[in-house]
Chains A and B, each alone.
Chain A
Amino acid sequence: MMVLRVALKALRVNKLRSSLTMLGMIIGVAAVIAMLAIGGGAQERVRDQLKNLGSNLMLIIPGSTTASGVRLGTGAAQTLTEEDAQAIAIDVEGVIVAAPSLRGSGQVVAGNLNWSTQFFGTNNDYLIARDWPLASGRLFEPNEISSSGKVALIGLTTAQQLFGDADPVDQVIRVRKVPLTIIGVLARKGQNALGQDQDDIVLMPISTARNRVLGQTQGKQRRVGTISVKTADGADMKAIEEKIKDLLRQRMKVQPGAEDPFTIRNLTELLQAQEAASRVLTLLLGAVASVSLLVGGIGIMNIMLVSVTERTREIGLRMAVGARGHDILKQFLVEAVTLSMIGGALGILLGVAASFAVGEFANWRTDITPQAVALAVGFSAAVGVFFGFYPARKASRLLPIEALRYE
């Protein structure tokens, strides 16, 4: 306590010099905090998208097809079927669900309100694959799935547009003029990675979509647009992807060497790669900011060395009246650490303010974690000890008689 008071007093003696030295620390710590906040924010955003998408998710979409030499785009050939989805779910180890879905879009009418949205014909597995719980109501019954039940689940945005704040459950909407009874409302999902509102959606049994809404006649094979595959936690997604590919090629009787008539998109992996990239970015930003902290530390060392030289006679006097080497060491070390800690504390304030400013004006997401603050505090104390030690030791090793005689 006493030592701290002596240190503060010594720092007050040279206010301008102390504040300029602190400025080095302030900028260093603020830079570390702000950079970690920006990097952390980017990471957090990717992580959110990942969670949003549903974890361990793979999408299988039909591939391109060639008609009379003209190559049509992805999805042109509806080569995937509900049976493929079932086969994947049953035969491939590590797959939890494989949900088939058919996508369409169109006008949805409820009472005197109408709203353009997209709809999916699917089953309950789709919600499992997307990690998408219900906010209210119930899921599809098996007989509704199998026999084109006139029921629907709707997203929050669609519910809002058509019913306002009223409860949409048990209300009837007409999708492309087909009346469907709402049995449940999906929980909020927010925007996806592309900024689309995922809550603007209507879900219905896949048979309903195929037979009633999209108006396709029931063929021999029940074709689907997409199959959403959810794998078990910790499963090797690459291996599962290979197995699904083999299974589908076999089922579709694709010649060896021919192109896959489908594409498997491993979105989770994609986002994980992105997350890893943003983690590297955070580290990089932090490392660059640390350099300024290092420079601040060198500033402290420089000033402490000047201070030791200037105060040689004071050191000599203190030794003459009974200060031991380690008393002097402690005094100068505490002074350096005080300098760096006050600088660190102000730096945290500045860093937090800078992060908020970046978040506010540049509209970047920033994320200040307690760990980042703790890191900055620890770092500034460590800088003080590390860079203060050499000058302090130099002071403590002065010979009292030479220090007293110093001019």
Chain B
Amino acid sequence: MLIETRDLRKDYTLGDTVVHALAGVSLSIDAGEFVAVMGPSGSGKSTFMNMIGCLDRPTSGSYLLAGQDVAGMDSDALAAVRNRRIGFVFQQFNLLARTSALENVELPLMYANVPIKERHERARGKLALVGLGERADHQPSQLSGGQQQRVAIARALVNDPALILADEPTGALDSRTSVEIMALLQQLNRGGMTIVLVTHENDVSAFASRVVHFRDGKVVSDDRQPPRSAHDALARLDRAAPAAA
């Protein structure tokens, strides 16, 4: 069991009213799963992602990440957990501007105190893995949206985490590029990487093998499904509009 939450709760106080962003979530995710977390805005899916990403602490409940209780850790320990075990992919890519793709990918290694030579090697390796080996020296402004998201994925992978958390990774991309990114995530998942993805698009969640729906801070459905192949979807797109390729 990679992720195991027990009665996870998060309350926010807005003025006089207390908002229950998470109202007791118990969920288990095995290593190697590809989970899509869905729900309308305000359903608690983002709060849940922040919890399992160790970006925020629950009000109550427990969270075991690979058997380790992280709910009670201090902020430095959480930073270390994020650094070693979790790779983040964001909707807006969140790359450092005026910084080469290589240096962007190296960022987590810098905070892991990896020596500079090894840093370069590992970052180049991951850039090659996401198909950007030739563009290591490009700055984000010189890359397309899809390429920027690939750099972000390489950055998420560089410290060999146990888990990738993707928060609407295709939200800022056109549909074809979205499918390309999903193909890349599926490829990583086939290689054994656990992926948890937040989305509100059914088109995107179709590529996952398990879909969890949130509403009002609770899990309302949790279904396994045969994932749609992003590779096949790409092939279909190419047939429909060969000129676009």
**A contact residues, range:** 20 to 34
Residues in A whose Cβ lies below 8 Å from that of B88: 320-321
Contact assessment for A313 and B80 in the assembled complex, using a CB-CB cutoff below 8 Å: no
Distance A314 CA – B116 CA, assembled complex (angstroms): 22
Residues on A with beta carbons closer than 8 Å to the beta carbon of B96: 314, 317
Which residues of chain A are within 8 angstroms of B76 by Cβ–Cβ distance?
324-326
Chain B residues positioned under 8 Å from A320 (CB to CB): 53, 55, 82, 88, 94
Please classify how large the interface on chain B is, using the bins under 10, 10 to 19, 20 to 34, 35 or more.
Answer: 20 to 34
Contact B94 A399 (CB under 8 A): no
CA of A2 to CA of B120, assembled, Å: 14
Assembled-state Cα–Cα distance A114/B98 (Å): 81
Asked if B79 contacts A401 (CB within 8 A), the reply is no
B90 with A322: CB separation less than 8 A: no
User: CA–CA, A400 to B49, complex, Å?
Assistant: 13
B97: A residues at CB distance < 8 A: 13
Find out whether the CB atom of B94 lies under 8 angstroms from the CB atom of A313.
yes
- Is the CB of A138 closer than 8 A to any CB of chain B? no
The answer to whether the Cβ of A395 comes within 8 Å of any Cβ in the partner chain is: no
Distance to closest chain B CB from A4 (angstroms): 13
Whether a CB of chain B sits under 8 angstroms from the CB of A327 is yes
Q: Contacts A13-B98, A400-B55, A401-B55 hold; do A321 and B83 have CB atoms under 8 A apart?
A: yes
Q: CB within 8 Å of A: which of B43-57?
A: 50, 53, 55-56
Please, which residue of chain B has its CB at the minimum distance from the CB of A316?
Answer: B94
State the CA gap A327–B80 with chains docked (Å).
Answer: 12
In the complex, what residue of chain A is closest to B49 when comparing beta carbons?
A401
User: Distance in Å from the Cβ of B84 to the closest Cβ of chain A?
Assistant: 7
Which stretch of B104-112, B169-177, B209-217 is in the interface?
Answer: B104-112
Which residue of A317, A320, A325 has the most chain B CB atoms within 10 A of its CB atom?
Answer: A320
CB distance A322 to B55 under 8 Å? no
User: Across the interface, do B111 and A404 meet the contact criterion of CB distance under 8 Å?
Assistant: no
Point out the residues of chain B lying under 8 angstroms from A327, CB to CB.
Answer: 111
Chain A residues whose CB sits within 8 angstroms of the CB of B112 once the complex forms: 322
In the complex, what distance in Å separates the CA atom of A325 from the CA atom of B53?
17
- Assembled-state Cα–Cα distance A319/B96 (Å): 13
Could you say which of B56, B83, B107 contacts A401, with CB atoms under 8 Å apart? B56
Please determine whether B75 and A321 come into contact, CB atoms closer than 8 angstroms: no
Whether B126 sits at the interface, judged by CB under 8 Å, is no
- Say what secondary structure dominates the interface of chain A: helix
A322 & B111 in contact (Cβ 8 Å cutoff): yes
Give the chain B neighbours of A13 by CB distance below 8 A: 97-98
CB under 8 Å from chain B, chain A span 368-407: 399-401, 404
CA distance A324 to B88 in the complex (A): 16
Contact (Cβ within 8 A) A404 B108: no
Q: Are B84 and A322 within 8 A (Cβ)? A: yes
Please, which residues of chain A bring their CB within 8 A of the CB of B124? Answer: none
Q: Is B9 an interface residue (CB 8 A)?
A: no
Scan residues 289-346 of chain A and give those whose CB is less than 8 A from a CB of chain B: 313-314, 316-327
With the chains together, A9 CA to B155 CA distance in Å?
20
Distance of A324 Cα from B83 Cα, bound (Å): 10
Contact between chains at B111 and A321 (CB < 8 Å):
yes
A321-B108 in contact given A313-B94, A404-B94 (Cβ < 8 Å): yes
Q: CB-nearest residue of chain B relative to A313?
A: B94
Shortest CB distance B7–A (Å): 21
In the complex, besides A319-B79, A323-B79, A404-B55, 20 extra interface pairs with C-beta distance below 8 angstroms are A2-B110, A9-B98, A13-B98, A313-B94, A314-B96, A318-B107, A319-B55, A319-B82, A320-B82, A320-B88, A321-B111, A322-B112, A322-B159, A324-B76, A324-B111, A325-B75, A399-B56, A400-B55, A400-B82, A404-B94
Q: Which residues in A have some Cβ–Cβ distance to B below 8 Å?
A: 2, 9, 13, 313-314, 316-327, 399-401, 404
Residues of B within 8 A of A (CB): 50, 53, 55-56, 75-76, 79-80, 82-84, 88, 90, 94, 96-99, 107-108, 110-112, 116, 155, 159
27 residue pairs bridging A and B, Cβ less than 8 Å apart: A9-B98, A317-B90, A317-B94, A319-B82, A320-B53, A320-B55, A320-B82, A320-B88, A321-B82, A321-B107, A321-B108, A322-B80, A322-B82, A322-B83, A322-B84, A322-B108, A324-B76, A324-B79, A324-B80, A325-B75, A325-B79, A399-B56, A400-B55, A401-B50, A401-B56, A404-B55, A404-B94
In the A-B complex, the 8 residue pairs with the closest CB atoms: A322-B83, A322-B111, A321-B108, A324-B79, A401-B55, A317-B94, A324-B76, A401-B56
